[in-house]
Structure 1
Amino acid sequence: MALARVVLSSGRSVDLSELRMSSTYGGLLEGYPCKRLNDLRIAGLLRSAEHTFPGTPVHLIPPPREYPDQYAGAFGPVETLPAVTCVGRFRSEAVDPAHDRVLYRSHLTVVWFQPAPHVPSGCDAEPALRDLSWELLATDEEL
């Protein structure tokens, strides 16, 4: 059973089967958000997603980066990402029309950021999530 169903801009429905949310800067004990820290955080999320969901393609939706007018310290300007980090596993019907619709499903793991902790659903998901090119990113698997 899916946690939610998201309708992509293409009209394809994808089911969210697993979702992991965390605070983007929840473990930051020292320093401040900057480009280097954010890049390391994103790389770690991608590695973790690949390890957690082996055999499933992983796609990053590039997060918006903001540069608040704050003092730039030793690590350069302050750069912030949205407050909530999300890693979701999605499934849908097969991408390849030659595959039997009963025996095959497509799947994709997506990493994205959003401003608030809510489960994406229907047409209310983040625009970047709804704009996924499912046919190019997802792969089919036999059940």
Structure 2
Amino acid sequence: MTSVGEFDLPSGRGLYLRELRQYLTYEGMLEGLPTVERNKEQIEELVSEHRDNPYPGGPYLIRPTEAPIELPQDDPYPFGIPSALPRVTCIGRFDSLDPARDRSRDFSGLVVIWFQDDFAFPIDPAVVAQLLAIDWEAHAADMEY
């Protein structure tokens, strides 16, 4: 990473974080516990919400690690398997000054969704490692100014 919000992929391609939206993952959850089932729904809704927005195609999801929520064995939770995602949901809009595939276009872009324990900055180092491993040419959309 060269400076805040700038990343160099192993291929030499530069990425620029143009927008970062963050919020508490369970903001608005008034009662009960998060569950594996609800987390799956929440992630699916998030990906669906960012499909073709603002770039054509789907966003890239960096799969979160869920943490089991331990409860007494004699009192199972009736609404699913208790499990928590990291505390903060992050949606980043990244651009590259070069197209991914179509050289007649001006630049390429991709929305990346990830979860981390604290608000950025910094972006969690494990997330940065996964961000740098994205196959940009396969996932980013080519755009015109």
Identity, % of aligned positions: 33
Which amino acid letter does the alignment assign opposite residue 78 of structure 1? Answer: P
Shift of the 70–10 alpha-carbon distance from structure 1 to 2, 3 Å rule, reads: farther
CA contact (8 A) 1:7 1:130 kept: yes
| Unpaired stretches in structure 1, ≥5 consecutive residues | none
Check the 8 A contact 1:120/1:126 in 2, yes or no: no
Q: Which amino acid aligns with 1:133?
A: D
Q: 1:136 aligns with which of 122, 135, 138?
A: 138
Structure 1 residues 118 and 5: CA distance shift in structure 2, 3 A: same
| AA at the equivalent of 1:41 | Q
Q: Where does residue 95 of structure 1 map in the other structure? A: 100
2-side partners of 1:42 and 1:61: how far apart? Answer: 11
Q: What number of residue pairs does the alignment pair up?
A: 138
Q: Secondary structure at the match of 1:46?
A: helix
Unpaired runs of 5+ residues, structure 2, are none
Q: In angstroms, what is the RMSD of aligned CA positions?
A: 2.6
Q: TM-score, normalised by structure 1?
A: 0.81
Cross-structure match for 1:35: 36
Structure 1 stretches of 4+ with a deviation exceeding 4 A read none
Partner amino acid for 2:116?
Q
Residue 19 (structure 2) pairs with residue 18 (structure 1): yes
CA contact under 8 A between 2:24 and 2:88: conserved in structure 1? yes
